[in-house]
Amino acid sequence: MRPTSQQARLLDGVTVVSLAINLPGPLAVARLAALGAAVTKVEPPSGDPLRGAAPDWYAELHRDVTVVPLDLKRELARLEELLSGADVLVTAMRPDAAVRLGLPELAARAGVAHVEIVGHDDGRPGHDLTFQAEAGLLASAGTVGKEQPEPAMPLAPVADLLGAERAVSATLLALRVREAGAPAHQRVLLAEAAHDAAAAVRHGLTGPGSPLGGGLDQYGLYATADGHVAVAAIEPHFAARLAELVGSTRDDLTTRFAEQTSAAWERFGREQDLPIVAVHQISQHDQPTEGDT
């Protein structure tokens, strides 16, 4: 989450007010805060559900954010006060809910850029799981009977993560539009983000048997003496070196990788400049080290 030295403080002087709870909004405004923006997050009196579901992640995303509890149905005037000196309003609710609260008009009166994060343009309900499901991003966990694949729950909230990055881009664009004196409103669709993420599957790049889905011997997962390694020797020079030092066919590679531990193969990859790493499983108890965010 930390920006590079060139990116740091690019948004100094920009003030953001966010009403966005759950995941995409907090991810987006945490990135804006890391870029120098002053961010105030308005939460309902009950708080953000993310805090109860993943308190450590919530704390990480809000360490540079000022949180203000507010009942918007009763204290809309207080929100208007917060917007009076702001540049950007970020929301994450269905369009009709924003209209009922009068948020588009409030943003226009305050002269702020309005970035909306929504699921679908037509207001249908949804969350990351439904966006990934309809986009075809759920991997198979096996089969039911003989033919029907059994879908697996997603390991990462792809639609939320990609949607958050799009919200950051939308904010930067909205600020440029606002500087030009035009009404600055941007809408980010999470369903669209999931659809775009699935393009690799639709175009045959990923998925069973595809080039990045197991169809290439030099790009895949192999069992070792104590686990698995990921091998990504897809460029010709990597493939040639892998063939010379380890093996050129799937059978050769399967046999060789099984002879040593994952750690040994990872060391081998570093020594020989080959993209080989051990496959790690993340535990809920794992904590990021300094610089990981």
SS3 letters across the chain:
CCCCCCCCCCCCCCEEEECCCCCHHHHHHHHHHHCCCEEEEEECCCCCHHHHHCHHHHHHHCCCEEEEECCCCCCHHHHHHHHCCCCEEEECCCHHHHHHHCHHHHHHHHCCEEEEEECCCCCCCCCHHHHHHHHCCCCEEEEECCCEEEECCCCCCHHHHHHHHHHHHHHHHHHHHHHCCCCCEEEEEHHHHHHHHCHHHHCCCCCCCCHHHHHCCCEEEEECCCCEEEEECCCHHHHHHHHHHCCCCHHHHHHHHCCCCHHHHHHHHHHHCCCEEECCCCCCCCCCCCCCC
Res. 134: pLDDT tops 70 = yes
pLDDT (tens digit per residue) in 231-254: 999 999 999 999 999 999 999 999
Domains of the chain, residue spans: 15-197, 216-278
Res. 111: pLDDT tops 70 = yes
pLDDT band at 183 (very low <50, low <70, confident <90, very high): confident
Domain 216-278 classified CATH 3.20.20.80? no
Question: Regarding predicted confidence, which is higher, 291 or 125?
Answer: 125
Does pTM top 0.85 for this prediction? yes
Q: The domain 15-197: what is its CATH number?
A: 3.40.50.10540
